[in-house]
Amino acid sequence: MSGSACEAAVGLDLGSSYVKGVLVNAAGEIAAAAAVPTGYDYTAASRRVLERLGDGDLRPVGTTGYGRDLVRSDLARTEITCLARGAAALGADEGTVVDIGGQDCKVIAVRGGRAAGHWINRSCAAGTGAYLEFLAHRLELDPAAMSELAATAARFHVLNSFCTVFTGTEILDCLRRQVPLPELVRGMYAS
Asked which of 79-83, 94-98, 130-134 is least confident by mean pLDDT, the reply is: 130-134
Quickly name the fold that domain 129-190 has: Nucleotidyltransferase; domain 5 (3.30.420)
For the entire predicted model, the pTM comes to 0.71
- Summarize pLDDT for 132-154 with one digit per residue, the tens: 888 888 888 998 898 899 999 99
- In order, the DSSP letters of 34-81 are EEEE-TT-HHHHHHHHHHHHT--S-S-EEEESTTTTSS--SEE--HHH
Q: Is the pLDDT assigned to residue 8 strictly greater than 50?
A: yes
The CATH class given to the 8-77 domain equals alpha beta
Q: Which of 93, 23, 102, 100 has its CA nearest to residue 56?
A: 23
Q: Is the pLDDT assigned to residue 4 strictly greater than 70?
A: no
Radius of gyration for the alpha carbons in the chain, expressed in angstroms and rounded: 19
Instruction: Provide mean pLDDT across the span 12-30.
Output: 92
Domain pair 8-77 / 129-190, same fold: yes
Q: How far is CA 128 from CA 44, 89, 133, 157, in A?
A: 24, 25, 9, 18
Domain boundaries of the chain, sorted by first residue:
8-77, 92-120, 129-190
User: CA 121 to CA 138: how far, in whole Å?
Assistant: 23
